[in-house]
Chain A
Amino acid sequence: MSVATREVTAGETQTIVAARRLSHTKTVFIGVGRPSTAAILARMVHNPELILVYESGTIGAKPFHIPLSIGDGELAETADSIVSVPEMFNYWIGAGRIDVAFLGAAQIDRHANLNSTVIGEYEHPKTRLPGAGGAPEIAASCGEVIVIAPHAKRTFVEKLDFVTTVGHGDGPGARERLGFRGRGPTAVITDLGVLEPEPETCELMLTEIHPGVEVDKVREETGWELRVAEHLETTEPPNDEELAALRELLDR
């Protein structure tokens, strides 16, 4: 193992694990921040054919730099096609043309429902968050959703203050009852590990833990009694190629 590998940060591991998930994906819908970094990294290392779709309407964007906003000029300049917002949501997202969507959230519950609206009461919020954006319909209609979030007790909560986006609702059958066509969240990638919905209950279960992280630490940072997979995997550490590519990308 090289020196570079030993210095890896939890955030780097999270991004690299997210990028690996896109190895065989055709189209990915991304917001800003870590998801964008992960998707660009996936194009560099695993899947050069990966099609990046940004909410701003840029389809097939090939950014060289990590964009700050979803509407940076470089996304428009490198896109195969640029569409209006109504077209993006009706023809592309609503129609189910996107395979994987990356989403973030301020709060997530055991069924991978998400809150990005308020902390506290709606009428008198303690913290007013940005709001829904595209998330509710993205989560309803994209093929699957991968949530990327920091693993902390204030994020992984027993009960959401506000349901902005439905993941698996109240459990099995919820998505079908609501008429959603996508599979919903298939993984939550954090800086500590990976949680996946257990097929029978749709409850998030720790299935993968990042190198050097203790299960107790993950439990401590989760606001509900976290179930741990019988065969808990340890994340394959980032390799030299992944790390070099990520660091080079961040330095651009």
Chain B
Amino acid sequence: MAELMTLPDAIAELVSDGDSVALEGFTHLIPFAAGHEIIRQGRQDLELIRMTPDLLYDQMIGIGIARRLVFSYGGNPGVGGLHRFRDAIEHDWPRAVEIEEHSHAGMANRYAAGAADLPCAVLRGYVGTDLMARTTVAPITCPFTGERLVAVPALRPDVAIVHAQEADREGNIQLWGIPGVQKEAVLASRRSLITVERIVDELEPRPGGIVIPAWVITAVAEAPGGSRPSYSLGITDRDNDFYRFWDKMSRDREQFTEWMNENVLGLAKR
């Protein structure tokens, strides 16, 4: 049953050095507050898993806490590249990061296989590309039709962290709007933390709402505004200007470090 905790307590209890951690959220509901808390608590050598690293993993990579990155699209959506991600891969700054990359279809199916506790997922994909030789996929033949397909291994992160709009006091959560791959990530992981905009007495059914029951969640923590500069549909708006600002500011190592010190690490000194 999900335990209601403060965000610092939840991170302290669920995330350890060296863990594989999936902070998911496809453009929408990205768990920035939780990622920042991981940075503030000084976790090291993490394997970071996420379809779209986005600014959050750019920050975590740039601050040097990622040992390995598993992903499918490392861009700043609609703006351009991710400069800290690039700097780590191109110049090993601030440290070398091992990468494993997939396509979106591959990553989504890997999470779904993890959620189903299957060893792998099967899809039509990867064939003919140079990605095939650079990542963990294998050809497989359908035993019924003989069609040649590709298998991808299940993802089983140590911890999944996602953000949602609401939880009730039992720790059941509801999210609505773009659902991404959050439910799959939670069910695929050994432990899970869901941060929420607010805790309510009763979850009110929403169109397209996804409810994850408390008994498959390890911890729930209240984090109002916790997806900013991403957004929580109906509660906060995506800060598109920040995504543009990040593109300019984060090109420079010193400016980046200063920004992180001031805006993320500085908070710990309160």
Nearest-Cβ distance from residue B70 to partner chain A, whole angstroms: 11
Q: A128 touching B233 by the CB < 8 A rule?
A: no
Residues of A within 8 A of B89 (CB): 125, 128
Q: A137 touching B105 by the CB < 8 A rule?
A: yes
Q: B108 touching A140 by the CB < 8 A rule?
A: no
Q: A163 touching B128 by the CB < 8 A rule?
A: yes
Q: A132 touching B103 by the CB < 8 A rule?
A: yes
Q: Which of B52, B82, B86 has most A Cβ within 10 Å?
A: B52
Residues of B within 8 A of A126 (CB): 90
Q: In the bound complex, how far is the Cα of B105 from the Cα of A80, in angstroms?
A: 22
Check A85/B103 contact, CB under 8 A, given A125-B90, A132-B72: no
Nearest-Cβ distance from residue A131 to partner chain B, whole angstroms: 5
- When each residue 27-43 of chain B gets 1 if its CB lies under 8 Å from chain A and 0 otherwise, what string results? 11000000000000000
Q: In the bound complex, how far is the Cα of B130 from the Cα of A165, in angstroms?
A: 9
- B237 on the interface (CB 8 Å rule)? yes
**8 Å CB contact of A132 from B104, B109, B147, B208:** B104
Q: In the bound complex, how far is the Cα of B85 from the Cα of A56, in angstroms?
A: 22
**8 Å CB contact of A128 from B77, B78, B85, B102:** B85
- B18 on the interface (CB 8 Å rule)? no
- When each residue 122-143 of chain A gets 1 if its CB lies under 8 Å from chain B and 0 otherwise, what string results? 1011111111111111001100
Check A130/B130 contact, CB under 8 A, given A71-B28, A82-B178: no
Q: From residue 6 to 29 of chain A, which have CB atoms closer than 8 A to chain B?
A: none
- B163 on the interface (CB 8 Å rule)? no
Check A85/B73 contact, CB under 8 A, given A68-B78, A93-B105, A94-B124: no
- B126 on the interface (CB 8 Å rule)? yes
- A1 on the interface (CB 8 Å rule)? no
Residues of B within 8 A of A86 (CB): 108-109, 111-112, 181, 184
Check A33/B104 contact, CB under 8 A, given A56-B27, A164-B130, A174-B128: no
Q: B75 touching A130 by the CB < 8 A rule?
A: yes
**8 Å CB contact of A133 from B103, B130, B183, B231:** B103
Q: In the bound complex, how far is the Cα of B74 from the Cα of A133, in angstroms?
A: 8
Using CB atoms, name the residue of chain A closest to B77: A69
Q: From residue 212 to 231 of chain B, which have CB atoms closer than 8 A to chain A?
A: 231
Residues of B within 8 A of A117 (CB): 101, 130-131
Interface size, B (range): 35 or more
Q: From residue 109 to 128 of chain B, which have CB atoms closer than 8 A to chain A?
A: 109, 111-112, 123-128
Q: From residue 66 to 119 of chain A, which have CB atoms closer than 8 A to chain B?
A: 67-73, 75-77, 81-86, 88-90, 93-94, 117
- A60 on the interface (CB 8 Å rule)? no
- A58 on the interface (CB 8 Å rule)? yes
Residues of B within 8 A of A71 (CB): 26-28, 77, 178, 238
Q: B108 touching A122 by the CB < 8 A rule?
A: no
Count of chain A residues near B, Cβ 8 A: 56
- When each residue 164-177 of chain A gets 1 if its CB lies under 8 Å from chain B and 0 otherwise, what string results? 11100100001000
Nearest-Cβ distance from residue B175 to partner chain A, whole angstroms: 11
Q: B180 touching A129 by the CB < 8 A rule?
A: no
Q: B105 touching A134 by the CB < 8 A rule?
A: yes
Q: Which of A71, A117, A126, A179 has most B Cβ within 10 Å?
A: A71
- B154 on the interface (CB 8 Å rule)? no
Q: B104 touching A70 by the CB < 8 A rule?
A: no
Residues of B within 8 A of A81 (CB): 208
Q: B129 touching A166 by the CB < 8 A rule?
A: yes
Q: Which of B78, B181, B183 has most A Cβ within 10 Å?
A: B78
The 7 sampled A-B contact pairs (Cβ below 8 Å) are A68-B79, A71-B27, A71-B28, A130-B81, A132-B103, A163-B129, A181-B124
A residues in contact (CB < 8 Å) with B: 32-33, 55-58, 67-73, 75-77, 81-86, 88-90, 93-94, 117, 122, 124-137, 140-141, 162-166, 169, 174, 178-181
Q: A130-B73, A136-B131, A179-B124 are in contact. List 14 more A-B contacts (CB 8 A).
A: A33-B78, A57-B180, A70-B27, A71-B28, A72-B240, A73-B237, A90-B108, A132-B72, A132-B131, A133-B104, A136-B105, A164-B129, A166-B128, A179-B127
Question: 8 closest A-B pairs (Cβ-Cβ)?
Answer: A71-B27, A130-B75, A69-B77, A133-B73, A166-B128, A32-B78, A89-B105, A137-B105
